Amino acid sequence: MDNSTEVVAHKLAEILTDYLENNWVGSSPDTPTITAQTNMVTGLQLDSFQVMEFMLEVEDHFDIAVDLESLAEIQTINDLALVVITVQSS
Amino acid sequence: MSILDKFTAVHALKSGLAHTGVDPTTVVFERIISATEGVVEGRSTILAGTNNYLGLTFDPDCIAAGIDAMRSYGTGTTGSRMANGSYSAHGELEAELADFFQVDNAMVFSTGYAANLGVLTALLGKGDIVLLDSDAHASLYDGCRMSGADIFRFKHNDVQSLERRLGRLQDRAGRCLIVVEGLYSVLGDSAPLAEMVKVKERFGASLLVDEAHSLGVLGERGCGVAEQQGVLDKVDFIVGTFSKSLGAMGGFCASKHDALKLFRYISRPFMFTASPSPAVVATTRQALQRLRTKPELKETLWANAKRLYKGLEELGFELGPEVGPVVAVRCRDRESALSDWNTLLTAGVYVNMMLPPATPGGASFLRCSVSAAHSTDQIDTIIKEFAKLRSG
């Protein structure tokens, strides 16, 4: 992971942590620790609605628009960081 | 690995529901007594989850029109309009819809779902852009996805979120279609269309509004939210269904744009579906006539809606944000939604159960839809049975 990906992934982890603090519905009482390798679907068991809610926060933070189709391949925070960087540079 | 493996998860979900003894997907109405009463498991049941807003499913004139059409034209059309031709009533219904919405063009589809698929796939293609409200109905999502357009979502009913995304599109904004519902089906909240129209005009975008739940419910003439907010003539495409307020089946699009006339040559959900049957078209036309000539239906509907909303609010339930014919009651969690839904049904009140992920905010709801045909006693019984949930 290069520096820019690392920085973006770190920011994404922060945004997701904030999102989960307000929306966590998992079985454990504490929200999980988010890292670049955290899998949003299998690891956090976010449903499709929650992933899209989180994406709206991400789009606003980075001032980008991510096409719905691009979301299909995203599993981890690191995957998302790469998409954010791609969209920013396009 | 098999193509059937994907059903393992569905089977587990279904088994889980069966295990709780509560499965809303298997409810059977053994008899339908009236627009607001049926029989479930031998019990008389108030129907408070049918979207039968004007209660026209048992309107004597609508029934008579359907019977008459069936006797005159037969049970079905047996083919699509492009391949097998149209019946005169198809065109007459389209003319009546255009007149109702005060536009030049209207097009009828066999279902509301097909209308959204048919309109969006005809209107949009590769290189076009959709800005879709995050709470939009599955048929709108599916139509957008099938179209090949680039899809971006904005926050539900958030004009600033919409504006920001239009701004990011820069010179592509002119190829953008904003897709929203008038009245949202789960929470019953309405879109800020007047503000959205201002934004779309500033960026040169177009606007499609699905008035499925607001036709016959809102606006002075019952055209929906766009009429209520004074922007009916600013909306580019209005889509909707005959299966709610009009008590029939089918869907439509009405538009000021003459291009709609050409949709029927490229819209596959229109071209490759059998056209609406004579009886369905006849009852729809009669119901539309009822809607236009009996404004008291809308008044009764709203009186009932206010009575139910107020009654449930006074009981301390957390409800959708707006008083209206869709009254959504937020449940503590999925388990309490299942349990409360079953208790209500056993007590003779049928409502809809809405569970995540098909719900806003991942919450669980019991959703009531009010009808003009509900009696005051029926509304009070619904409130009384909800009250028992509180005390139980």
pLDDT on residue B28: 95
**What confidence score (pLDDT) does residue B31 get?**
97
pLDDT of residue A1: 52
pLDDT of A41 > 90? The answer is: no
Domain boundaries, chain A: 3-89
More confident residue, B201 or B335: B201
pLDDT tens figures, B279-323: 999 999 999 999 999 999 999 999 999 999 999 999 999 999 999
In the predicted model, what is the mean pLDDT of residues B200-226?
Answer: 97
pLDDT of residue A25: 54
User: Residue B183's pLDDT band (boundaries 50, 70, 90)?
Assistant: very high
Query: What residues in A contact B356, CB-CB < 8 Å?
Result: 47, 49
pLDDT digits (tens, 9 = 90+) for B4-54: 998 998 898 888 887 777 888 889 999 999 999 999 999 999 999 999 999
| Interface contact flag, B165 A59, Cβ < 8 Å | yes
pLDDT tens per residue across span A43-56: 777 777 778 888 99
Neighboring chain B residues of A67 at a CB cutoff of 8 Å: 150-152
Exposure string over B272-286, b if 16+ CB within 10 A, otherwise e: ebebbbbbbbbbbbb
A7 touches chain B (CB under 8 A): no
Q: If you average pLDDT over residues B226-244, what whole number do you get?
A: 98
* Residue A2: predicted pLDDT: 58
Residue from A47, A64, A68 to probe the interface with B (highest B Cβ count within 10 Å): A68
| pLDDT average, residue stretch B214-232 | 97
Which residues of chain B form CATH 3.40.640.10? 60-293
Q: Per-residue confidence at B334, pLDDT binned at 50, 70, 90?
A: confident
β B150-154/B176-181 pair status: unpaired
Q: Give every CB contact of residue A15 below 8 A, 6+ residues apart in sequence.
A: A54, A57, A58, A61
Give contacts of B360 with chain A, Cβ < 8 Å: 49
Give me the mean pLDDT over the B369-391 stretch.
96
Start-end of CATH 3.90.1150.10 domains in chain B = 11-47+294-391
Mean per-residue pLDDT for B180-209? 96
- Residues of chain B with Cβ-Cβ distance to A59 below 8 Å are 152, 165
Substitution target from B120, B153, B364 for chain A, most A beta carbons within 10 A = B153
CATH class for domain A3-89? mainly alpha
Residue B109, phi-psi category: left (phi > 0), alpha (psi -120 to 50), beta (remainder):
beta
Residue located via tokens 């006539």? B289
Q: From the CA of A67, how many Å to the nearest CA of chain B?
A: 5
Residue A32 has pLDDT above 80, yes or no: no
Residue A66 with chain B: CB contacts under 8 Å: 152
Longest dimension (CA), chain B: 62
- Say what the pLDDT of residue B25 is: 84
Instruction: Provide the pLDDT confidence category of residue A27 given band limits of 50, 70 and 90.
Output: low
B60-293: in CATH 3.40.640.10:
yes
Q: Quickly list DSSP for B199-263.
A: HHHHHT-EEEEE-TTTTTTSSTTS--HHHHTT-GGG-SEEEEESSSTTSS--EEEEES-TTHHHH
Chain A nearest-CA distance from B151, in A, is 5
A70 has pLDDT over 90: no
pLDDT band of A29, cuts 50, 70, 90 = low
Nearest to B362 among A49, A60, A64 (CB): A49
Under CATH, to which class is B11-47+294-391 assigned? alpha beta
